[in-house]
Amino acid sequence: MADSRCFLALDLGAESGRAELVTLSGGKVEMQEMHRWPNKPVFIGSTLHWDFPFLLGEITESLRACAQAGRQPLAVGVDTWGVDFGLLCGDVLLGNPVHYRDARTQGIHDYTNPTMTTAEIFALTAYEPWAISSLFQLLAMKKANSPLLEAADSFLNMPDLFSFFLSGVKRSERSIANTSNLMGVDGQWSDEIMRRFSLKRGMFSPLVEPGTVLGPLTPKVRELTGIGDMPVVSVCGHDTSAALAAVPAQGDGWAFISCGTWSILGSMTPQPVATPRCLELGFTNEYTLGGWYLARNISGLWLVQQLRKKWMLHDPACDYTRMTAEASEADGGESVPLFDAADPSLLAPADMEQAIQKLVGLGRLDSRGAMVRSVLESLALEYHRRLESLTELTGRRPDRVYMVGGGIHNKLLCQLTADACGMEVHAGADQCTALGNALTQALAIGVLQTPAEIREVMRNSTRMDVYAPRQQSLWQRKRLAYAQVCS
């Protein structure tokens, strides 16, 4: 018999996957990890692939773990990273899906621009035309005369592919389809792009909204796992969009920052913003439960993580708590050296400490605390800079920021973000992706009634720390100094 309020969220990231059993009771959620596994890409010849049979096997193992624990979820859903896909002929997968980091799309825009420019594609899709997006991966296959592309009659992005092997139903959910650069601003497949690039329209499955019930588990899956009957739900398949669905926000007029190794800043919008200025400012439009949102990737705690990695070689006790404490004790006045947190030299430096010293001027950061303080203030000011761009694009300045993800545990960063942005920061919820997945399942089967109820459940379940902006005359001078550094 099904647990009355229990949902299984299968949350796959680029480095690991996990199965979280989420229980909804009394308007709150609790989460229990049932299974976790690594996600290691493999080279087959010279091509980098995802190990799809292994990943599907671990999903099967997740269902088996529930059955063995005597837990029967009401539903199951899958979210993953974006852009990657599988091709099928009938029900047969044509090889392991290729990893977005594979070299096949290098220089692809030189091949595609004569047919259709990136600006034209953005105007139709409102999604930044990354070389790694599904469209350009398909066109790389076309350029190479791939026999798989010729043989394929179905295209499914990764979460839809897993859902197909669980349910036997082929559908494309809009949040993940959006990462393909093939879904138009009307929420439908772009016939114009497919026509211009001579892609087979019949390969693409019907589009569905997040929160659509696909159908029950196949008899084979139930036989392999011992799990009982339950529906497979097409949740927000793109993990970023799943997380946004669970931001514990209230009302309108808010922006969000999802902060971890990298950060994503954005806000919900009534319709996509597909202007040249949007593309110029590095923003893209994504789809989630309830509609569109505008977002931009930003540096995150990667900078601090790389500093710790170096410092631990000489001080194994160097942890994030200690680093943040040292930064809190460092001078926070106008003398804090600032640097462009988006500088390309910080993407993959051999030595992060030296890279930062070079940007601010050698010798200006004379302690670990001073360096971490410089990093966190520069990152907070980068958030402000991008928040101003968001305001320009939407025509509306947010009145508060909701901060989610692992970065919320860095209380100094949360406070500095409030100071730099000049508005309240509400920080809480570090597990939004799996919870957004599970609560969208609850919405799909009628346990919850509206997307707003998901946010209400999250507020009930999450401790929110509110950080008010301080010393705004000082921070206005810091904003001007940071703008000068970035100019």
pLDDT at 19 over 80: yes
Q: How far is CA 316 from CA 303, 310, 320, in A?
A: 18, 10, 12
Placement of tokens 């076309």 in the chain: 142
Q: What is the pLDDT of residues 427-472, one digit of tens each?
A: 998 899 999 999 999 999 999 999 999 999 999 999 999 999 999 9
Phi, psi for residue 230 in degrees, rounded to 5 = -165, 155
Mean pLDDT over each residue of the chain, to the nearest integer: 96
The pLDDT, as a whole number, for residue 4 is 65
Q: How confident is the model at residue 347 (pLDDT cuts 50, 70, 90)?
A: confident
Q: What is the pLDDT of residues 277-310, one digit of tens each?
A: 999 999 999 999 999 999 999 989 999 999 999 9
The pLDDT, as a whole number, for residue 1 is 42
Q: What is the pLDDT of residues 106-146, one digit of tens each?
A: 999 999 999 999 999 999 999 999 999 999 999 999 999 99
Measure the N-to-C terminal CA separation of the chain; round to a whole number of Å: 62
The pLDDT, as a whole number, for residue 430 is 87
Q: Annotated catalytic residue: which of 239, 319, 340, 351?
A: 239
Is 340 among the catalytic positions?
no
Spatial distance between the Cα atoms of 171 and 161, rounded to a whole number of angstroms: 9
The 3-state DSSP composition of the chain as helix, strand, coil percent (nearest 5) reads: 40, 20, 35
pLDDT at 3 over 80: no
Q: What is the pLDDT of residues 38-64, one digit of tens each?
A: 999 999 999 999 999 999 999 999 999
Closest CA to 93 of 166, 181, 156, 12: 156
Q: How far is CA 231 from CA 7, 57, 189, in A?
A: 10, 19, 26
Say whether 303 sits in a helix, a strand or coil.
Answer: helix
Q: 156 Cβ partners below 8 Å, 6+ apart? A: 85, 86, 88, 164, 170, 172, 205
For the chain, give the percent of residues with pLDDT over 70.
99
Structural domains of the chain, with CATH: 6-237 (3.30.420.40), 247-429+464-487 (3.30.420.40)
